Structure 1
Amino acid sequence: MAHWNGSDLAKIAAAEELDLSSERADGTLRDPVTMWVVRSGGQVYVRSVKGADGPWYRGTQSRHQGRIEAGGVRSDVTFQEADPGEYPGVDAAYREKYGHYTSIVEHVLTERARASTLRLEPR
């Protein structure tokens, strides 16, 4: 498992949103999708509100790598499916960071969304 350096981790975690571009099978990048991003421990996570059926999530599954931009950090990453044991920490991070969006945050806390939790690892 690759680890973020402290500065990049802090900048990404502080960003309100993240732009994610997944790689197609031919290695080219898809158009970026803007989404929420959270930090749990020393890791960075994203989730699809639509779960595994979400278009951007499906795009991450062809090569399991891409590029992110957030908080002034641009990094090539690997998309790793999070272990269910990581979900509680990610849930808590979403509640803490985005809880002021009370009518929206619950959508990233459903079982459907939880099953699409990806850990973003620098490469």
Structure 2
Amino acid sequence: MGMWTRSELERIAASDDLYIAPFREDHKTYGTPTWIWSVIVDGHLYVRAYNGEASRWYQAAIRQGAGRITVAGTTRDVSFAGARGAINDQVDEAYRLKYGKSPYLAPMIDERVRVTTINILPAD
């Protein structure tokens, strides 16, 4: 797996337009892009599923482990890895800083959604 460049992370952090499209069951066809919130923590890109573990994109991302994102005018093939444990406190804080004025913030830092935290890494 690759790493994001500083420039890419800065553009992603400043953007509010991340679309995620995990692979479908055939591992070749991308799913329908879904708009989601994203945050950067310690040089890593994280997302969460607003509808919790029942979110279709989340289920596909965990099952397939790869797909594509479009953000800040760029489309990249990526891999997905679940993120559990202490990192979630930092992800919560990043959501508070980036989306603190939104009425949708509270559900995004609720335990039901915290379990869906995914680290997105660029594909090699």
The two structures share one fold, judged by TM-score above 0.5: yes
TM-score with structure 1 setting the length: 0.94
Q: Is the 8 A contact 1:50 1:113 kept in 2?
A: yes
* Deviation (angstroms), 1:64: 0.8
Question: What is the match of residue 104 of structure 1?
Answer: 104
TM-score with structure 2 setting the length: 0.93
Question: What is the match of residue 9 of structure 1?
Answer: 9
Structure 1: stretches of 5+ with no match in the other structure: none
Question: What is the match of residue 115 of structure 2?
Answer: 115
* Deviation (angstroms), 1:12: 1.0
1:18-57 equivalence runs, <5 A: 18-26=18-26, 27-57=28-58
Worse-superposed segment, 8-17 or 106-115: 8-17
- The whole-number CA distance in structure 2 between the counterparts of 1:53 and 1:31 is 16
Where has structure 1 moved over 3 Å in runs of 4 or more?
Answer: none
Identity of aligned residues (%): 34
* Deviation (angstroms), 1:94: 0.3
How far does the alpha carbon of each residue in 1:79-101 deviate from its partner, in whole angstroms, 9 at most, with x for none? 10012121011000000000011
- Alignment partner of 2:13: what SS? helix
Q: CA RMSD in A?
A: 1.1
Equivalent pairs counted in the alignment come to 122
Q: Which amino acid aligns with 2:32?
A: D
- The whole-number CA distance in structure 2 between the counterparts of 1:66 and 1:86 is 23
Q: Is the 8 A contact 2:62 2:81 kept in 1?
A: no
- The whole-number CA distance in structure 1 between the counterparts of 2:22 and 2:94 is 23
